[in-house]
Amino acid sequence: MRTRVALVAAAIALAGLTGCSDQDASTTTADVAARRSATALQAQLVRVIDKVGPSVVELRCGNALGSGIVFDDRGDVVTNAHVVGGAPSCTVRLSGGDTHPARVVGRDTGHDVAVVQLSGATPSPATFGATGNLRVGKVVLAMGNPLGLSSSVTQGIISSLNRNVAESSDVHLSALIQTSAAINPGNSGGALVDLSGQVVGIPTLTATDPEFGGAPANGIGFAIPSDVVQSVASSLIRSG
């Protein structure tokens, strides 16, 4: 009888050990899969930044500081009209640090889009994606020169689509992309990029909180959709 009890106890103990082993193996597999997924995302973010970074430039137009995106292989750079303001020309600093003069080709204040043309350099243009492919929740990167910090990148998601926002008392922008990627002064005119490395919009402004004296509302930024940017920029290049 003692022998039988001992054998039963040993079998139960062995079964318990076996169960723990299976659970540990399952947990380990899940951990490994999570690490691989995180590593893959990190690698993709680096690839996107390496791909798009050289096409994002810094603009100084009079006293205004902003960003721009190389639009084509002729040296045309697209940015915000409020970055260009009334200046006839700008200074453009490329991602590598070289600076070049640029003339203002044209501006459309109603859509807050402008084009300047570089002189002495034709950096590689960015690839623009279609706005129709956007979905709330997609991961995006905001690339530009916030506060003059060249080639800065922030990450977020697309928070909403088709937002209508008053940029000023005279300019009301429609169908904007809302994003949680941080947008700070100097980001205007830069690139909002998806994980395939396509520009899906141009960061333009950040929401402000009237209860705190008009301070920026963190995580609520807006960008002009790439479809609008491409259409207006192409028109400005053709006709000024």
Q: Are strands 99-108 and 113-118 parallel, antiparallel or unpaired?
A: antiparallel
Are the CB atoms for 172 and 196 separated by under 8 Å? no
Range list of β-strands (E), the chain: 56-61, 64-70, 76-79, 89-93, 99-108, 113-118, 139-144, 152-166, 172-179, 191-194, 199-209, 215-225
Q: Which of 95, 112, 151, 194 is catalytic?
A: 112
Minimal CA–CA distance to 193: which of 233, 156, 239? 156
Are the CB atoms for 112 and 173 separated by under 8 Å? yes
Minimal CA–CA distance to 224: which of 184, 167, 155? 167
Q: Is 188 a catalytic residue?
A: yes
Q: Is 112 a catalytic residue?
A: yes
Residue 81 one-letter amino acid:
A
The residue with tokens 């922030």 is 154
Q: Which of 55, 67, 82, 226 is catalytic?
A: 82
Are the CB atoms for 227 and 187 separated by under 8 Å? no
Q: Which of 67, 180, 188, 226 is catalytic?
A: 188
Q: Is 170 a catalytic residue?
A: no
Counting Cβ atoms within 10 Å, is residue 45 exposed (0-12), middle (13-18) or buried (19+)? middle
Cβ neighbour number for residue 158 with a 10 Å cutoff: 22
Q: Looking at the annotation, which residues are catalytic?
A: 82, 112, 188
